[in-house]
A and B are shown apart, each in its own frame.
Chain A
Amino acid sequence: DVKVTQSSRYLVKRTGEKVFLECVQDMDHENMFWYRQDPGLGLRLIYFSYDVKMKEKGDIPEGYSVSREKKERFSLILESASTNQTSMYLCASSVIQGPEAFFGQGTRLTVV
């Protein structure tokens, strides 16, 4: 059974904190994605990685960075958390040219 695991379901952080969201997949997928989901806006792509140490900006990369040191792990970093980064964060993975992406259960981040 394929699996994408996000390290936390719920997180509460303070404004200005550095926040790490971790995602691990066990399917040996090349592609990994980070999205944020907000009501009425759907899923917006933050960053995309197609290989170890490779990353591409998505539609809303400002305020975020990513790290992919190993194929199975893709981390999203909020350098200095702000209240407008309160959201649901979703990680996904897929094979290099495949249509099907597998999602984690999401991390609901609240920045206070």
Chain B
Amino acid sequence: GESVGLHLPTLSVQEGDNSIINCAYSNSASDYFIWYKQESGKGPQFIIDIRSNMDKRQGQRVTVLLNKTVKHLSLQIAATQPGDSAVYFCAEIPPDYKLSFGAGTTVTVRA
């Protein structure tokens, strides 16, 4: 079946640097692509979404980029902080609304 996946399982970042987390998806019919953050002991929390008719969306310190040509999604975090340490999941909403997740990337921020 089709799935959403992440390129790297772990990412180590120096505090203050920018982080880039990548994701490859396969369902080109999906209408929404989303990033979630999961801190230890908690459920995932929505960060930002992008619709399939867009290629870039910015939030507070975060930017999501969508490249439909190569089916690639990325999350950029500016000036990474210790509180950004978490597992990040990309997800997609296909036409049947069954929200599907990738395997996740664990981001560790070094002081």
Contacts of A42 in B (CB 8 A): 89, 101-104
**On chain A, which size bracket covers the interface?**
20 to 34
Nearest CB in chain B to that of A57: its residue: B98
B32 touches A99 (CB 8 A): yes
Query: Number of contacting residues on B, CB 8 A?
Result: 22
From 52 to 111 in chain B, residues with beta carbon under 8 angstroms from any chain A beta carbon are 89, 93, 96-104
A48 touches B43 (CB 8 A): no
In this assembly, does A94 line the interface, its C-beta being within 8 Å of a C-beta of chain B?
A: yes
B98 touches A45 (CB 8 A): yes
Nearest CB in chain A to that of B42: its residue: A105
Given A40-B9, A90-B43, A105-B42, residue A56 in contact with residue B98 (CB < 8 A): yes
Contact of B99 among A41, A94, A106 (CB under 8 A): A94
